[in-house]
Every structure is written in C-alpha cells, then in structure tokens.
Structure 1
Amino acid sequence: MKIADRVSIWKNKPFDKKTIKKIIELEKNEDELNERFHSDLEFGTGGIRGVMGIGSNRINKYTISKFTQGLADHLNKTLKKKQKTLIIAYDNRRNSKFFSNEVAKVLSANNFNVILFDDVRPTPLLSFSIRHFNADGGIMITASHNPPEYNGYKVYNSFGGQIVPPDDKKISESIKKLNFNKIKWDNNKSKVKIIDDNFDKIYFKKIISNSVLKKKNREKLKIVYSSLHGTGIKSIPPLLNEAGYKDINLVENQCFINENFLNTNTSNPEDKSAFEQTILLAEKINGEIIITTDPDADRLGVGVRDFKKNWVLLNGNQLMVLFLSFLLEKEFKKENFFVSTTLVSSPLFEKIAKKNKIECKLCHTGFKWIADVIEKEKKKTFLCGGEESFGFLHGNEVRDKDAASASLLFCDMFSFLKSKGETVISYLIEIYKDYGFYYDKLYTITRKGRKGAAEIKKQIEVLRLKPPKTIAGINVSKIDDFKTGLSYLKNGKIKKIDLPKTNLIIYYLEENSRISVRPSGTEPKIKFYINLYSKCNNTFDLNKESNKLEKKVKQIIKHFN
C-alpha cells in the first residue's frame, strides 16, 4: 500500500477529529509524514513494540485496537469453547493504562471474559496469573527496557509463555486482512473483572515455596534496590521482605512509579549507568548487594563487591552460570531434570550442564523460546533457564523470565555463600577454574528510522554473502546460518541445522570462541554477541584475563565496522 493511501484511510472514520487534524498538520512536513506512514506496524517477536504517536507504524489507540481485534478474530476461529478468558496487565509507561482499557473494551465487545489488573504490574505476574486462572492467554502492555517514547503489546498463550510460530504468523495474518472500521469498541463492562494486589501475595507465596533456602537459614543482608521507576517496586521489596530479608534500602528517588523514568539515565539494567544511584547509596550505608530491575520487572541486574571492596556489576551470562551452579549444588539431582538457554548466550551454561549430566536444551533468542521448550518437555522436570539479556527463571510457576524469583534466588545464593565465608566473586572464579573462562561482550550498532532499517538489512546480507575466513586474526572453523538452515564447515561440508529458521549467523572460531550476529527483533539494532574462551589455572586472575580479552573484543568490533 502506498503512503498516500494509508494517510487517506486515517483521515476518515473511525478515526476521531483530533487524529484527523493532527494528520492534516503532518502533511505539511513530508519527511515526518513518510516516517509515520511508510509501513504498517508489524506484529512479530511475540507482539509489537514501537514509538508512540499518530501513524500506521506508531503505537496508538487505533493500532493497539486493530491488533486486539485481529487477535480476538484469531482466537474465536481457533478456540471452540464458548467462554474465553484473557488477562490484561500493564506497566508504568506513558498511556499504558489507557491502552489496557482500550484492549479490554475490544475484547469484551468480542464476548471475551477479561481479567484486568487494577494498577501497574510486572510482566512475570501476568504469566503466573494466566496459569493460575487457567485463562486462554494474556496481553501485557509494555515496551520492556526501551526508551520512554516507546510502548508495546506482548501476547501470551494459554500456558503463560509468549506466542511463537506458527501462532504469531496466524495472528499477524488475521490483523493484516482487518480494516479499521471492523474493530468492535462496544465495551461490555459486565465481562470485565478487576483484580487487586491481594492476588500478588499468592504469587509471592509460590515463589517462596519454590526457593532453595529455608527462612531460618537466610543470613542478614544489607540490600540496596532500585526499580528505576518501574513495576519492580510492586514485587521485589515485598517478596524479599516476606522471605525474611528485612534490610532492604530503597533508592527513594527512583522507587516510585514514573512514566518518564524521571531520575534515571536509563531504565535498562544491562546498562551500567542504571546502577549509579544504587552504588552511591550502597557506599553510604555499606550495602552488600545492589539490585535493579527494568520497567516491567522481568530483567534482573545485580552488583556485588570484589576482593578490594569495589563494586562489580554482573552481566546476564555470569548470573545464569552462577545460578545454575548454585542450583545444581542445592537441588536434588533427578534423572529428568533439564535446563535451557538461547543460542547467543554464553556456551559456559551448556558446558556446566553437560559436565553434570543435565540435559541442556538450546533454542533461539528470546525467553518465549525457553517457555516453548518447557511446555514441550513438560513430562520432564524443568530446573532453570537463562539468557544473556539478564533474564532467568527457576521453577514451574511462570513461563517468562522473572526478576522477582531471580532476586530471591540471588539473595539466597549470596546468603549461602556468606554462611560459608565465601563471596559471589570467589564462587564465580571457582566456576571458571572448573569449566574454563568465557569473556562475554555484547556490541550493538543502532540504525534508526526507515533508512536505518534498510541499512541493517543490507549489512546482515553482506555478512551472509561474503563470509569471513578469519576474524581479528582468528580462523573461522564453522558458520551456522539459521536463515538458510545450513551449517558450513571449514572442510567444505554442509549440514542441516535442526532448529527453526531465523535471521542469525554464528561464527565458530578455532580458539573455542564464538561470535553471533543478528538484527534485534524489538529495537533498530544489529547485535554482536562475542564469547571469547580462555583456559584457567590456579593463578587465574579475573581482572587481568578480562583486560586481555577486551583488547581482542576491540579487534573483533573493528573487523565488523
């Protein structure tokens, strides 16, 4: 469809007068008009995410409602039961509450029973509630850790995980063939049920019952926490307090709900600047652990002190290998245990699992794929799953990464190690000595807008068409191209890859290192996941080895620029 045709549609009913007036104003600025109407917002990666505003490729009342109508049409077609129930939750972003009410209107108008949370809630609580109420799915209004101008719409299935193919494609097809004048907005309030924070206590109780330490064994810890203005304030402090960790010190000017993330440099715990104020408070009160969570409280960021009492911010890969090692030490070893991680996460996680004779299921990037693995392997016992982007899950009550349960697990691990006179850093070093050291680094190239999207596509295709034989002086021994579904070996042999196709290339290097390249599914970025391996011995120095491999990382980045 041409831009002019899209604009024409938006200048007529059912669009309101305010929207039409705004579009007429936009017509005076051709570049801005083209940016907003050059395409329709695509449904993918479990839902949609984008910048808010007027336009066909923006998040607004009309695009949100069209997605909801398309979802309702799909579910009415595929689910034969008369009474269908969907649960709606939302985070602290601009318009999140408004969008959630619009979603409830459309669903109730389509004869769905709707359970709507009364206030902002973390994403993992939605996943838990779907399973608890035996609902047919759910919708989370959130843009996770994206900047304030973004919002989004995650769709969950009946077992509490984000949707995966072929369901996402079927929903997308249902949306694409829908005209805006077919959206039902006749709100049926009798179909909408509101739930309050009493339900949250059920969630906390389940997490605590699944924890590996008993309350009496929990050491006194001085914890510093920041929700970065997000929903984590609703889950992390009350959960830890209920579990027995009473000394929780809040970064007060970041621990209230704010749609603009007022007192933060970033709302993403993957970014070191997100910890600036937690470190300041921890220094002031002599804190032992610092914790931050992203706006919808599914990602966990933590920091601990090293041997010199300096703060070390653990990355997602380090967290997942620490958690796995701790759980294997504390849990009873059952024959049917399995764990799961993503292809771009640290190879160390799989290595630890294999050495302990635990099955490790590898899957594509995104926690929805780990949730899919859990559901497909439900006859076995899921121990835990993790991904490099600060996501982790322990136990069976939730089907998404969960910062609440992960924060309790981290405090329990810290407490257990403290009782033995050990530290998290000393524990991590022992893991490296046992299994080898991986220096993990994420490098991103951002390309915004319509032009940027084209540049990202071109750069990935160039890498695909001209595969390197060496990267930063290291020979490439194998290339896995998940778009073609083929693995290219150095000796010229080609093998098929037994996983669904996706736009991902993995370069295996001769020194047991690895580089994965993919376009982000939620942001205008190309991501380079660098995993550099080094053997360890008794004289292993974490800082020295990290500095040495960081130089190699810079050479690798230079290769791709």
Structure 2
Amino acid sequence: MVNEVYEKWLHHPNLDPSYKEVLANMSEKEKNDAFYTTIEFGTAGMRGLLGPGTNRINLHTIRKANAGFAQYICAHGEEAKKRGIAIGYDNRHMSYEFAMDSAKMLATFGITSYVFESLRPTPELSFAVRHFHCFGGIMVTASHNPKEYNGYKLYDEKGCQLVPHLAEQVIERVNAVEDELALCANPTAEQEQLIHVIGKEVDEAYYEKVLGIQLNPQIAKDDVKIIFTPEHGTANIPVKEVYTRAGYHFVAVEEQCTPDPDFSNTPTPNPEEAGAYELALEYAKREAADIILVCDPDADRMGVGVKHHGEYKLLTGNQSGAVLIEYIFSQLKAKNQMPPNPVMFNTVVTSDLGEKIADKYGVATEKTLTGFKFIGEKVAKYEATNEKQYVFGYEESYGSLIQPFVRDKDAPQACLMLAEAACYYKAQGKTLVDVLYDLYAELGYYEESQKSLTLAGQEGAQRIQEILAILRKTQLQDLGGSAVVRFEDYKECRVVENGKEFELTGFTKSDVLKYYLADGSWIAIRPSGTEPKCKFYYCIKGSSLEDAHEKTLSYQQAIDDLIK
C-alpha cells in the first residue's frame, strides 16, 4: 500500500515540481514514514514534518485540508462564504505559500478571505476573525516545534480553534477527498477578487486592545529593564510596539529578531526548553536586566527568566502563570474591579497552585482538556449566559490569555502584564521569584515538571499506544512509595476512587490518564497531539522546595521503570 501511494505521488502530473527530487531520493524507511498514514488533526490542528507524502505537511495535504474546510463553509450557506475566512502565517518554511494557496483554494469555492500582508502572531489572527466578523480563520504555523515542521490550524467565528464536534465535521469532509493530488488552487480572475490583503488596520485595533489590559498603566517603569526575544518569529513587531507605546524599557535580542525559518541564532524556538534563553541570558547579564521574556515563533507562548539574588532563574509555565494570577487578582480586588462571579480556566495537566491562588481571591477554577480551544469554548459559553465572568485562562505550556478579545493564547498580552507585575513588585523590593516563593510559603510547595518520551515514525506511534494501553489496564495501587488514591481515565470516561468506579463527566473523550497520590501530588500521561511524543506531567507537593524536588525525582524514576 505504501509503495502504491508513493508511486502515484512520484509520477502524478500535478505533483508540485519542488517535491519530485525529494521523493526520488527517499529511502525505504523515509517512504514508509511519509506514506504509511494520513496526517491528522490533533489538539492544535494539523501539524507535522514538511515534505512530500500523505503523512507530511505540503501543498497537496494543505489543499486537501482546505477543500474539506471549504465544503464545511459552503454547507453553512452563502452568508458564511461572504463573511469569509481570515488567514495568518508565521516565519516558517512555506508558511506564506501555504497561506496564499489556502486563500486561492477558498476562492475557487467562492469564499472570501482576508490574508495578512506579512507574518503575524497567532493571537492576532484570532483577533482578525473577530474584527472582520469572519466565519472562521486559518493560521499556518507549527508554533514552538523545530524548523522541520509546519502546521495548519482552523478557527471558528469567535476566533477560537475548532473544538472536536466542529473539527469532526471538517475532518469528515477532508477524508472524503479521495485524491489530494487532483486538487488545484487556480481561481479565475473574478474569484481572485475575493482575496483581500490586510495589515495595519488590524494591527492598530489589536494594539489598542492589548494596551487596554493594563491595570496600572501609570506605574513607574524606569527601574525595570527587560530583555526580549521573539526567537526569529512573529512577536518581534507587536511586542516591541506595545512596550514602546506603554513606556517600558527593553532591549531586544537583535540576532533573533529576523524572521528566519531556520532559527539560525537559537538552539530551539521553544520557550519550554533552556536553549531558547541562551543568547537572551548573555544580553541580560550584560545589561543587568531584571527579566527576560521569550516568545515562541507564532507568539502564543511566553517564557520568563527573572534576576534573583544575582542569578537568573527560568520560570515554568505553571510558575509564571501563578505570578500573573497573584498580580492580576490582587489588583482587581484592591481596585474593586473583581466581577461578581469570576472564573479562571486551566487544564487537567496544569499545577494545583494556580487554583489555590484563585480560591484565595474567591475566583472559581474550571478545568479543561489540553488545548486552548477548550478554554475558548468555555469563554464563549459564559459570554452567552453571563453566569460567570472570565478573569484569566492559562495552560502549563507557557500560554495565557489576560482578556478574551482574543480566543487563543496571547504572548503580547502576557508580556505586557508580566512587565507591569515586575515593576509593581520591584517598587516593593521584590522580584517575581520572591512573589512565587511567598505563594509557596502560603499555599504549599510544588514542583511541576514535564518529561517526554520521543518515539518517531510508525513504530514509535505504535509503542506510545502500547504504553498507554498497558497503563490503562494496570490498576496501579502505588507509585514511588505513595498510594494512588484516585485514578482518572479521560478516554474511557471513568474514575476509580476508594475502590469504587464511577463515570468521569464534563470532558470530551481524550487519551489522558491521571493518578492522584496520597501526599497531594498527581501525575498525568498523554500522547502529544502534534509531535511523536508521550508526555508525562508531574505536579509534586512537598514540605519544602527541596522535598518536592526529591519526591519528583523518585516519581519520575517510578514512571520510567513502569514503561521500560
């Protein structure tokens, strides 16, 4: 089957010429990996390695996705086609080409599109959908993945990534496209008039909204210096613009400000990894900076480094989220601006610390599955009912949303609020690390970490499924010397607690396992929706930071032993 599909691609008259040589030089292993399956939508849309093949991101698989999406739009009538689709893209290889090809494919179906003139952040694409009252959106990005990747994310009319019941309607139509190579994106001259180029108007409207999130816009800013890097990506212009207009003192890592698809001047564009901070740390030491802010290529995630006792400490997404929650909620309360029924959203793999801070300020916490689209869905629900009022949303994976005029993670918003918090606390003689440690002393000591088992290719995907199947069937009673007091299986929708089994409700089925331990810790396991990885999340509670760290190492070893 693999060779049959491979030969079809290699000799097809519509094959894009750029793929011919790559296909001709593929090894048997490369052929199998490129053609053994069809690339699918995951937690963040369709994402994968660039190159020819049904299991790759290329012009033909993008066209297949667009054909399915176009049919989905057409099924909603002429008004949906007229409202159209906003399209954005980042700095990666082929992002511009995929975005323009998407607009052309939609045009052949009579669908209007609004395409950014140049690269823009993912949150601004979400904003553009809402700004133009579009029926939906497309963002071409692989987020924080390595340079070999690209991706394609779909948005609904509220600027939120498609949730499962909507994505399934698109996927059904995509899968019905039998031959992606037969598709052409060749609109007529009249159809090309449906493609509109957008830019400054949306930028200005977005900047105005971002600047509007400030809680203390007049705060003294002269004593705080920021090192900022966009990691060669889309945050470069918007974050600089917002900081300049708000009056913050920042130094950009110039070597990483060019929109380079090869990420030439950084070991990794992922703020979850220490390599993303290497050059920024050099700048910080030279400039004696207070904080370092690192954005991923599509500017939905923000990483933070803080100067504390002369050294720079990198915060996890859980830790920076906790600091933002404390600052925002304390200021809302002090200014009597906390709404009557405030609610915060995070995910089932996000630390317990944030929820404890929210409890302190009388804010309810609701958990969702991993993927910010589920938070966006919750925002829309309460926007309609006004039963509760949104005050914050975040994930452990370094993404947050301060105010929901965007319906995705928004690093420019996070950068602005984090800078404000740094100024506020420095005036009190505190660093952001001091704030975090005060929270630990008040609410409990936590160490949150994540480990990934990377297993590429068909065999790797099968091995990941085997690991989860074995764990699902094995009723663990103990992990690392601590009793398992509760087990949640989000795929089979069941909970086991105190020897009793009952239904897990309130979540879409998802391949996630979560173990709660007697000492107040938990461990969660899930396959990545966008990379060939099995992810292990640890939220470990201790009597001190040192104790939490030692217990984390013990639990990680216990899991490693289980999956050997």
Query: Which interval holds the TM-score relative to the shorter structure?
Result: over 0.9
Q: Which residue of structure 2 lines up, in the alignment, with residue 165 of structure 1?
A: 164
Q: Which residue of structure 1 lines up, in the alignment, with residue 478 of structure 2?
A: 470
Partners of 1:100 and 1:483 lie apart in 2 by: 34
Partners of 1:24 and 1:289 lie apart in 2 by: 47
Contact 2:447-2:549 at 8 Å conserved across structures: no
Q: Which residue of structure 2 lines up, in the alignment, with residue 99 of structure 1?
A: 98
Contact 2:44-2:529 at 8 Å conserved across structures: no
Contact 1:215-1:244 at 8 Å conserved across structures: no
Among 196, 199, 202, the residue aligned to 1:196: 199
Q: CA deviation at 1:549?
A: 3.6
**What does 1:72-91 align with in structure 2 at a 5 Å threshold?**
72-79=70-77, 81=79, 83-91=82-90
Q: CA deviation at 1:192?
A: 1.1
Would you say 1:399 and 2:407 are equivalent positions? yes
Q: Which residue of structure 1 lines up, in the alignment, with residue 450 of structure 2?
A: 442
Q: CA deviation at 1:227?
A: 1.2
Residue 51 of structure 1 aligns with an amino acid whose one-letter code is L
Bigger mean CA deviation after superposition, 361-370 or 37-46: 37-46
Among 513, 520, 523, the residue aligned to 2:521: 513
Q: Which residue of structure 2 lines up, in the alignment, with residue 108 of structure 1?
A: 107
Residue 141 of structure 1 aligns with an amino acid whose one-letter code is V
Partner of 1:377: helix, strand, or coil?
helix
Would you say 1:365 and 2:373 are equivalent positions? no
Q: CA deviation at 1:550?
A: 4.2
Q: Which residue of structure 1 lines up, in the alignment, with residue 312 of structure 2?
A: 311
Contact 1:219-1:419 at 8 Å conserved across structures: no
Partner deviation per Cα, 1:222-280 (whole Å, 9 max, x = no partner): 111111111111211111111110x2111121121101000111110000121111111
Residue 304 of structure 1 aligns with an amino acid whose one-letter code is V
Partner deviation per Cα, 1:148-177 (whole Å, 9 max, x = no partner): 010000101100110011111111110011
Q: Which residue of structure 2 lines up, in the alignment, with residue 326 of structure 1?
A: 327
Residue 330 of structure 2 aligns with an amino acid whose one-letter code is E
Partners of 2:63 and 2:303 lie apart in 1 by: 34
Among 261, 264, 268, the residue aligned to 1:262: 264
What 5-or-longer segments of structure 2 have no aligned partner? none
Contact 2:43-2:370 at 8 Å conserved across structures: no
Bigger mean CA deviation after superposition, 370-379 or 212-221: 212-221
Q: Which residue of structure 1 lines up, in the alignment, with residue 186 of structure 2?
A: 186
Among 205, 224, 237, the residue aligned to 2:227: 224
Partners of 1:506 and 1:262 lie apart in 2 by: 38
Q: Which residue of structure 1 lines up, in the alignment, with residue 251 of structure 2?
A: 249
Residue 46 of structure 2 aligns with an amino acid whose one-letter code is I
Partners of 2:139 and 2:407 lie apart in 1 by: 14
Query: Structure 1 residues 282, 176: CA separation in 2 closer, same or farther (over 3 Å shift)?
Result: same
* Fraction of identical pairs, as percent: 33
Partners of 1:558 and 1:518 lie apart in 2 by: 15
Q: Which residue of structure 2 lines up, in the alignment, with residue 298 of structure 1?
A: 300
Partners of 2:84 and 2:500 lie apart in 1 by: 53
Q: Which residue of structure 2 lines up, in the alignment, with residue 36 of structure 1?
A: 34
Runs of 4+ in 1 over 6 A off after TM superposition: none
Contact 2:86-2:138 at 8 Å conserved across structures: yes
Query: Structure 1 residues 97, 559: CA separation in 2 closer, same or farther (over 3 Å shift)?
Result: same
TM-score normalised by structure 1 residue count: 0.94
Q: CA deviation at 1:181?
A: 6.2
Bigger mean CA deviation after superposition, 192-201 or 430-439: 192-201
Residue 400 of structure 2 aligns with an amino acid whose one-letter code is F
Partners of 1:216 and 1:418 lie apart in 2 by: 11
TM-score normalised by structure 2 residue count: 0.94
Partners of 1:259 and 1:346 lie apart in 2 by: 33
Q: Which residue of structure 1 lines up, in the alignment, with residue 425 of structure 2?
A: 417
Would you say 1:532 and 2:537 are equivalent positions? no
Query: Structure 1 residues 200, 555: CA separation in 2 closer, same or farther (over 3 Å shift)?
Result: same
Q: CA deviation at 1:142?
A: 0.4
Q: CA deviation at 1:496?
A: 3.4
Q: CA deviation at 1:47?
A: 2.0
Contact 1:92-1:257 at 8 Å conserved across structures: yes
**What does 1:492-511 align with in structure 2 at a 5 Å threshold?**
492-511=500-519
Contact 1:385-1:392 at 8 Å conserved across structures: yes
Among 347, 358, 372, the residue aligned to 2:352: 347
Query: Structure 1 residues 366, 238: CA separation in 2 closer, same or farther (over 3 Å shift)?
Result: same
Partner of 2:269: helix, strand, or coil?
coil
Partners of 1:184 and 1:69 lie apart in 2 by: 10
Partners of 2:157 and 2:421 lie apart in 1 by: 32
Query: Structure 1 residues 490, 80: CA separation in 2 closer, same or farther (over 3 Å shift)?
Result: farther
Contact 1:83-1:113 at 8 Å conserved across structures: yes
Partner deviation per Cα, 1:84-103 (whole Å, 9 max, x = no partner): 31011100001111111111
Partners of 2:159 and 2:101 lie apart in 1 by: 22
Partners of 2:77 and 2:403 lie apart in 1 by: 28
Q: CA deviation at 1:357?
A: 2.2
Q: CA deviation at 1:144?
A: 0.5
Q: Which residue of structure 1 lines up, in the alignment, with residue 554 of structure 2?
A: 552
Partner of 1:431: helix, strand, or coil?
helix
Partner deviation per Cα, 1:449-490 (whole Å, 9 max, x = no partner): 111011111111111111321111111011000111000113
Partners of 2:531 and 2:466 lie apart in 1 by: 16
Contact 1:26-1:33 at 8 Å conserved across structures: no
Q: CA deviation at 1:198?
A: 4.5
Q: Which residue of structure 2 lines up, in the alignment, with residue 356 of structure 1?
A: 361
Q: CA deviation at 1:14?
A: 5.6
Query: Structure 1 residues 120, 217: CA separation in 2 closer, same or farther (over 3 Å shift)?
Result: same
Q: CA deviation at 1:405?
A: 0.2
Would you say 1:214 and 2:217 are equivalent positions? yes
Partner of 2:438: helix, strand, or coil?
helix
Partners of 2:520 and 2:96 lie apart in 1 by: 48
